[in-house]
């Protein structure tokens, strides 16, 4: 059993008093989750933030926020997908995260939304996420290296997009950043057993999320839903992957890191034993998220710049 740090423990006690998502409808859960946004703080100032719409095919569009850290031209583009079990969450909820990544890495950050379940179940979110990657590559990156990143369900969409890009022979991805990713639908792993009732995310919440996102259990084995089920992970970009000690997703996160390593993918794993799932959204309350984002920013800064003429000039945002 993990011992939580005092700041995390204080939040857990607050979460334990709140009504759980399994007792709510999806719209009610979205409204409740918005109340937690102040826990992230405001994030640092950046040069500009622009709201855009990205076409994802078949008449669909998703909203995105594009963060330019300074007036200088960024050399890297980061795509960020928010967490929330494919049901809740929004670019607004992850605004402070994306501001921090932009300010500390110097990269252009695209904080992209996607269609949510249950209104739009699997594979809608992964189709949108891959479409966002392709659009950024074609219309925004201008040959600059692209980083796929996200937390929880957003990390799932990031790594699935990397898998789809490999299968489609592009776009090229320089790095995947996976913060406590969802990688499987097995509710009997050691961490699911140990942390079945752990606020803010336990087994009941994850069963509720999966039930909305992939209601047909047979479909959950698809690697675009559960990337740990993929037969071939070789050729994926290097990964930075975090796991939280008091998180039902702990076991599957480490299992995915091991699977990537076994496939020859370079993986950096960070374990934080004294926090729960969701800590990166608690930047104003728990220090761990800020430490992780600083590490991520350093990795992004270290990515070699690609000649801008490789696929056209960068778009002006």
DSSP 116: -
Q: What is the dihedral of CA 301, 306, 312, 316, to 10 degrees?
A: 10
Residue in 82, 78, 84 with CA at minimum distance from that of residue 101: 78
* Residues designated catalytic: 152, 247, 277
**Contacting residues for 176 by C-beta, under 8 A, at least 6 apart:** 147, 148, 149, 158, 159, 162, 236, 237, 238, 239, 240
Number of residues in the chain: 317
DSSP 138: I
Residues 94/157, Cβ–Cβ less than 8 Å: no
Tokens, residue 272: 């934080």
DSSP string, 265-313: --EEEEEEEEEETTGGG-TTT-HHHHHHHHHHHHHHHTSPPPPGGGSSP
Residues 128/134, Cβ–Cβ less than 8 Å: no
């Amino acid at each position: 059993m993990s011992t939580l740090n005092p700041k995390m423990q204080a939040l857990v006690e607050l979460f334990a008093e709140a009504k759980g998502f399994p007792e709510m409808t999806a719209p009610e859960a979205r409204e409740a989750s918005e109340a937690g946004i102040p826990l992230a703080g405001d994030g640092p100032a950046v040069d500009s933030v622009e709201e855009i719409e990205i076409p994802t095919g078949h008449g669909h569009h998703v909203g995105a926020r594009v963060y330019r850290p300074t007036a200088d031209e960024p050399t890297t583009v980061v795509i960020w997908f928010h967490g929330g079990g494919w049901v809740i969450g929004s670019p607004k909820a992850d605004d402070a995260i994306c501001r921090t990544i932009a300010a500390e890495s110097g990269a252009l950050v695209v904080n992209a939304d996607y269609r949510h379940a249950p209104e739009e179940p699997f594979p809608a979110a992964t189709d949108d996420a891959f479409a966002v990657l392709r659009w950024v590559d074609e219309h925004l990156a201008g040959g600059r290296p692209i980083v796929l990143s996200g937390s929880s369900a957003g990390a799932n969409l990031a790594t699935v997009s990397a898998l789809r890009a490999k299968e489609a022979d592009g776009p090229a991805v320089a790095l995947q950043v996976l913060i406590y990713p969802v990688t499987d639908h097995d509710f009997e792993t050691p961490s699911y057993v140990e942390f079945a009732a752990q606020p803010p995310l336990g087994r009941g919440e994850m069963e509720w999320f999966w039930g909305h996102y992939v209601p047909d259990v047979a479909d959950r084995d698809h690697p675009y839903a559960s990337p740990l089920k993929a037969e071939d992970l070789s050729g994926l970009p290097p990964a930075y992957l975090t796991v939280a000690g008091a998180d039902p997703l702990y076991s599957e996160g480490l299992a995915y890191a091991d699977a990537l390593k076994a496939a020859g993918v370079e993986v950096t794993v960070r374990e934080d034993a004294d926090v729960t799932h969701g800590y990166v959204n608690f930047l104003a309350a728990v220090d761990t998220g800020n430490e992780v984002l600083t590490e991520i920013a350093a990795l992004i800064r270290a990515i070699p710049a690609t000649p801008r003429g490789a696929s056209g000039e960068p778009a002006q945002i």
